[in-house]
Amino acid sequence: MKYIIGLDIGTTSTKTVVFNRNGHVLSEHEEGYDLLHSAPDYAEQDGDAINRAAMDSVRSAMDKGSIKKEDVIGVGLSSAMHSLLCVDEQGQAISPSITWADRRSVKESEYLKENHSTTYLRTGTPLHPMSPLSKLIWMKNHHYEPYQMAHKYISIKEYVLYKWFGEFVVDYSVAASSGMYDIHKQDWDETSLKLAGISRDQLSKVVPATHEMKGLSKEASEYMGLASSTPFIIGGSDGPLANLGIGAIKPGETAVTIGTSGAIRQFTSAPAVDEKQGVFCYSFTEDLWITGGPTNNGGIVLNWLKDLFSHEGYSLSFEQLNQMAARVSTGSDGLLFLPYLNGERAPFWDASAKANFIGLRSTHGKEHMVRAGMEGVIFSIYHIAHELERLGHSHDSLYASGGFARSALWTQMLADVFGKHVHIPKSHQSSAWGAAWTALYSLGEVPSLHSIKTSIPMSETIEPNKEHHQTYQQMFQVYKELYPSLMNQLKQLQSI
């Protein structure tokens, strides 16, 4: 039997999933790595540690499934967006990998919003500290030594690929998420490059998602247990590949992914941007774009509540949190939670946003706070959905992926808030399957990207509760007005 591998290089871990051609998982392995905070607002990682983790994950997945290297058709790649490394002429990292969560370039982002707001209309990347464009301007302004010495400025995915193949290449969607790529012309944006103080030859060559790499280095080949001739397909970023891997491809089909953070996305046949700048829009292929919005605060809200309500010698499990929330009625008895624990991206793009419980009374207990936390994350996703609707995108059916899809309660909340059916796949590794399918398509094993719809093993479909939907509609009318109403007071608290 022949197998295809999906390799997903994420912010907190790298996952390797071995699939058969029908999308059934044969084996998988995940290798984690640290997020480093060398200074306030910094969020960095060791690029070489991520490279080792990627190789470890492939080797372990191969071993777990007793997969022979000659039975591997190819490897498709996915990665998180917005990372940035400086490398020298030998391709060695001379800086840490700066992640999307890094906040050091808040002032630079504000400068872009005030003076170069049209940059977003060309690039589709919101003007926010997550963007490599903002990071590079910070490096330039602060005379960051690795920036001054760099031969190239690349993402973590590009770094790993250079280590394995000696080739500086970047796919459309990772390039688009840099904030320096014109999604209308499908080329680097010269105005953005000037703002960053760099030239196009200091960036990688942009290639399509189907770009094939061969000649895996001897070290990587032996370490991973793959043949050096194994074709690697560059794929894309985790967002569009998650949509592809879950089957949310046609107009009206919306993917919702919630892991540590979260996102809601749709494919579109043309760039979707406007002056309000509420959502992102990134290229995926020459004629397909992904649009939507990310939230900083997904599963991290439950992690926070778990830590908050645990105590020395006793730690709550996520299952116990779900059980607590299930004891509370829809709407948490009038308690709302603004889930902005780590600032927020869409739809406000405010790195200084703060979380709040609204409507807290003495009759509320821990279980109300847990349920309100879960509902607040879904309201945040729903808020972004309204921005997509404003741009002409309907939400006819929802597809759920990520860790939250393992929670029957949380996915029911999603169905009830939207009032739509929610489709859940058997495997939650949708980005990996999207990457693997892109590889199959590139290698001529399947007829099209869209044909993946017949090869996604699905678990169940959740129906919305109409009564709960009505309650949530009333709650959301209050929710969406809260942050604009509180914003000035929260900024005053920040200054204090």
pLDDT in tens, 348-379: 998 889 999 999 999 999 999 999 999 999 99
| Predicted TM-score of the model (pTM) | 0.93
pLDDT in tens, 414-461: 999 999 999 999 988 899 999 999 999 999 999 999 999 999 999 999
Which residues are CB-contacts of 491 (< 8 A; sequence separation ≥ 6)? 352
Q: List helix spans (H) across 8-154.
A: 47-64, 106-115, 118-123, 132-141, 145-149
Q: What is the mean pLDDT of residues 87-114?
A: 96
Band of pLDDT at residue 308, cut at 50, 70 and 90: very high
Phi and psi torsions of 397, nearest 5°: -150, 150
pLDDT in tens, 172-226: 999 999 999 999 999 999 999 999 999 999 999 999 999 999 999 999 999 999 9
pLDDT in tens, 218-264: 999 999 999 999 999 999 999 999 999 999 999 999 999 998 889 99
Residue 142: pLDDT above 90?
yes
Band of pLDDT at residue 490, cut at 50, 70 and 90: confident
Angle between helical axes of 318-326 and 408-418 (0-180°, round to 10): 50
Q: List helix spans (H) across 273-362.
A: 299-309, 318-326
Q: Which single residue is written with the structure tokens 């290229």?
A: 283
Grouping H, G, I as helix, E, B as strand and the rest as coil, residue 319 is: helix
Residue 314: pLDDT above 90?
no
Fold of 3-240: Nucleotidyltransferase; domain 5 (3.30.420)
Residue 409: pLDDT above 90?
yes
Residue 285: pLDDT above 90?
yes
pLDDT in tens, 121-135: 999 999 999 999 999
Residue 1: pLDDT above 90?
no
Degrees, nearest 5: CA angle 238-241-245: 125
pLDDT at 351: 84
Where do the domains of the chain lie?
3-240
Residue 313: pLDDT above 90?
no
* H/E element, 192: helix 190-196
pLDDT at 62: 97
Angle between helical axes of 318-326 and 366-390 (0-180°, round to 10): 90
Cβ count near 478 (within 10 Å): 13
